[in-house]
Amino acid sequence: MKDTPVPDGEQAMRSFEAPPPPSAPNPAETGNHSVFSSRMRVYLTYLLGFVIILSTLTATIYFPLIPMLSQEFSVSIQAINLTVTLYAICQGVTPPLFASLADTFGRRPVLLALVVIYACASLGLAVNHDSYAALLALRALQSIGGSATPAIAYGIVADVAVVSERGRMLGPMLSFCNGISAIGPVIGGVVAQSTGAYTWVFYALFVVAVICFVLIGFTLPETARNVVEDGSVPPPRISRLWWTSGLVRKYGVDTSTTSVHTAEKAKPMLRWRPLMLLQSLRIIFYADAAAVLWMIATSYCVYYTFQVAIPVIYHDVYGYNDLEVGLTFLPGLVGMTVGGIIAGKLLDRNFAIVARKNSFPIDRKRAQEMKELPLEIARYRRILPFVFLEVALVAGYGWAVVRRVHPAGLLIMQFFICASSTLLSHTASALLVDIFPTQSSSSYAAGQLMRCGLSAASAAILEPLVEAVGRGWYFTIFAAFTALSAVACVLFTKSKGMSWRQKRHAT
């Protein structure tokens, strides 16, 4: 029997390879990609943008509290930074578990369970006043509850939108999320300054979780294609809306589609297997995925490192109080919002340009076979200028702090650094979901595993390295590492990505 070529790293995974998930329905058989209307897709865009703040807001609202928590629990800044590191580790480790569950049992029940976990952890953090061990444990549990929500949100976008139109959902979704998260540091700073306590911050997060639970329960339809196919198969009882399915069917479904099922019986539930936990890990070992994943990790690491560094810089170097420290996060988070908007527009625009150049017809309703289209070139078209802008600003930021330039200069730099890092991260994340169309949540979870692992390491070494070489050289070294990584990933992906992807599909 003739041997089939094996992609790099796959051989190492063969001994514990998870069974592949079922293929998505054949568009030729089901008609449109999704029965959900454009009106429902718009609603889902902003609903998901609100839900995933359980991941982003939880991080941003916490950073201004670092000096206060250090005093409250009588531990060092480095000890509190370890809670940030632990949070990032959980952000990376837990999404593969919940992504596989969401792909198997559906998006709704998994999201609801995650929100409950998050709410319990937030309430526990609010009532904990003196135990550093409890702070560590509850912060980890809070991360477990919130960190998988973006992976599931990306899965829902892939469920209801074709590749050529995902940008118009992802851009506003991420911008809406980042816009809300931008007020997180301000809330944290205001509460800390006015009350001298951190507990009300966690009570506020508990309230947000309750709102998300209600919105998901009443308004989020099941979209997982392995459960409801294109949305027309009745979901099992565990995935049904709470008393509002009639309204969603009336106002959220495109009645002009020809693929609506009339069967009364729900589609049988797929059986989840423990080996499915390895699906996200297995994705890391594919050559085409590895280059994209490292791009996601390095670009996100830039954002995360700045979120950890900013409160210490403005507190120690410029002598800002808690409220003022919270306000210094705003330019960067506004930059994230702008970066998300630009990323969404560029994704769809670049896809259309490359598709026309390759004489590839764009169907905005039905899923298409992308094997012969250079998706990698489409997504990374003209992306290197954003990489160079990011690394130049990162290197300059450290020396600006050393020279104690006016804070306005730093704030402007933070805006552009966060905007460019967000654009790069979201562009690479969209490409990752594109090249694994039947494993959308698991592929995004793989990206989260990589980016949070690198971010956790960055947060852990930040203070020791700054003390060893100073802030100027630390940010210079960090910028050089980011530049080499990002440029190499882009060049490898654009030159080899398509052939690696085709080789993977052929095996």
CA distance 182 to 292: 27
Residue that is written with structure tokens 């690394």 in the block: 391
Distances (CA, A) of 419 to 206, 310, 345, 422: 29, 16, 14, 5
What whole-number percentage of the chain has pLDDT above 90?
A: 28
The pLDDT mean for the chain works out to: 81
* Across 465-477, average pLDDT: 89
Q: Per-residue pLDDT for 264 more than 60?
A: no
Confidence of residue 417 (pLDDT cuts 50, 70, 90): very high
pLDDT at residue 250 in the model:
66
Q: Per-residue pLDDT for 16 more than 60?
A: no
Which of the residue ranges 185-189, 424-428, 453-457 would you say has the lowest mean pLDDT?
A: 185-189
Query: pTM for this one?
Result: 0.71
SS (H, E, C) 340-388: HHHHHHHHHHHHHHHHHHCCCCCCCCCCCCCCCCCHHHHHCCCCHHHHH
CA dihedral of 278, 283, 285, 287, whole degrees rounded to 10: 170
CA dihedral of 316, 319, 324, 326, whole degrees rounded to 10: 10
Question: Using an 8 Å Cβ cutoff, are 339 and 422 in contact?
Answer: yes
> Which fold is adopted by the domain 32-268+275-506?
Growth Hormone; Chain: A; (1.20.1250)
Q: What is the pLDDT of residues 381-407, one digit of tens each?
A: 999 999 999 999 999 999 999 999 999
Q: What is the pLDDT of residues 316-343, one digit of tens each?
A: 888 888 778 778 888 887 888 888 889 8
Confidence of residue 262 (pLDDT cuts 50, 70, 90): very low
pLDDT at residue 254 in the model:
62
Q: Per-residue pLDDT for 146 more than 70?
A: yes
